[in-house]
Amino acid sequence: MSKYFQQLAAPGVQKLQPYLPGKPVEELERELGISNSVKLASNENPLGASARALQAIEQCYKTINYYPDGSAFKLSQRLAGKYDIDPACLTFGNGSNDVLELIARAFLTAEHSAVYSQYAFAVYPIVVQAIGAKARVATAYDAAHETMPLGHDAEAIIDSIDETTRLVFIANPNNPTGTWMDADTVKAMLDRIPSDVILVLDLAYLEYMQNEFKPDIKSLLASYNNLIITCTFSKVYALAGLRIGYGLSHPDIADVLNRVRQPFNTNLIAQAAALAALDDDAHIQASISLNNDGKAFLQNELARLGLSYLPSMGNFLAVNFNRDAMPVYDAMLRKGVIVRPLANYNMPDYLRITIGTADQNKRLIEALSGVLA
């Protein structure tokens, strides 16, 4: 039966591998009859939402009988101020995944291709293939690369562009590897990409990057018309459950994206919470510090356990077990710790661990020590 409907689906959709989300805590606890499990599987902010965002939600939730402001006027003004750009540069999405999909729908057809790196974020193949467009996958640096193992190779990405290419997707830092490109490399790529090819620079984890590597968003937008930057409120802003993200681009690109966008794709509560979260500097700084401390702790502990991990500028680490990591994943589940297997990324020896609170990180290391003993 399922095959019957699969055959009726659009050709690109027939071949799609569904996105594999992290296992929800409730599901694990139901399956194993346990409680107190920890989810370090979806790169969420373990600090919880900002108190200001929660307060904003309380102030607006009674008005949800009304449609939201489809243009997200207040939020676009606020973000335009933050980046010192024209509000017409903004496109909002139901999470930045939604913006990635809008980009694919707006710019790709079955005759076009999109380039992304091997081990790049799993949503790129999904949005490209769903359209029936061709994916041109650039070979990543190999595991022995000196500074950026499994990272995006700018040369290979440029070489993969051909006359059919409309989009190039780059996650910086990339999920699931955590690897990154420095600001000069991103700029040098933009200098070499043809003007009819749009670079999509996915900055979901931007705030976690060390300042020296962060791209200068305002200057990039001013210098390159063929650029879309995507950002999210799901990570450092801790609003993953509300689903809100945005794109920044030349207003002409934003105009195209806003044509395919559903008019009310960001909801009223998400808009209010996002606006408040942007103003909560203390929460943002606390989230970044927690992540830096947790990363240092986990890196030390992993090394003590004889495990290596990829360099990461995100809120997660891809850990190499040098053997099929699935049994480790399963054993961790039985100890109530959910991490993320990466077999679907063709990285079967790795597990991706989201950096949690100090307690969660300790719990993870205890579980891992037990599993490896």
Ligand X SMILES: Cc1ncc(COP(=O)(O)O)c(C=O)c1O
Of 41 and 365, which CB lies nearer to ligand X in the complex structure?
41
Under the binding rule (CB under 6 A), the answer on residue 202 touching ligand X is yes
Within residues 302-361, the interface with ligand X by CB under 6 A covers none
Under the binding rule (CB under 6 A), the answer on residue 271 touching ligand X is no
Tell me the H-state helices in the chain.
Answer: 2-8, 11-14, 25-32, 51-60, 73-83, 96-107, 123-131, 154-160, 183-192, 217-223, 251-260, 268-278, 281-304, 326-334, 358-372
Of 122 and 305, which CB lies nearer to ligand X in the complex structure?
122
Cβ(246)–Cβ(96) below 8 Å: yes
From 80-88, 93-101, 110-118, 346-354, give the range in contact with ligand X by CB under 6 A. Answer: 93-101
Within residues 156-195, the interface with ligand X by CB under 6 A covers 171, 175
Under the binding rule (CB under 6 A), the answer on residue 101 touching ligand X is no
Cβ(233)–Cβ(245) below 8 Å: yes
Question: At its nearest, how many Å lie between ligand X and the CB of residue 371?
Answer: 25
Under the binding rule (CB under 6 A), the answer on residue 122 touching ligand X is no
Residue 204's closest CA among 166, 267, 247? 247
Q: By CB under 6 A, how many residues form the interface with ligand X?
A: 13
Under the binding rule (CB under 6 A), the answer on residue 121 touching ligand X is yes
Residue nearest to ligand X (CB): 95
Strands 308-309 and 316-320, how do they pair? antiparallel
Cβ(103)–Cβ(167) below 8 Å: yes
From 92-100, 213-221, 327-335, 352-360, give the range in contact with ligand X by CB under 6 A. Answer: 92-100
**Which DSSP helix (H) or strand (E) runs through 337?**
strand 337-338
Question: At its nearest, how many Å lie between ligand X and the CB of residue 202?
Answer: 5
Residues 6+ apart with CB under 8 A from 186: 170, 172, 201, 215, 220
Taking CB under 6 A as the criterion, the residue among 113, 117, 232, 315 binding ligand X is 232
Of the CA atoms within 13 Å of residue 92, those in its CB half-sphere come to: 29
- DSSP letter string, 124-145: HHHHHHHHTPEEEEEPPPPTT-
Of 89 and 365, which CB lies nearer to ligand X in the complex structure?
89
Tokens in use for 189?
């790529």
Of 121 and 345, which CB lies nearer to ligand X in the complex structure?
121
Under the binding rule (CB under 6 A), the answer on residue 240 touching ligand X is yes
Return residues touching ligand X (CB under 6 A). Answer: 43, 95-97, 121, 171, 175, 202, 204, 232, 234, 240, 245
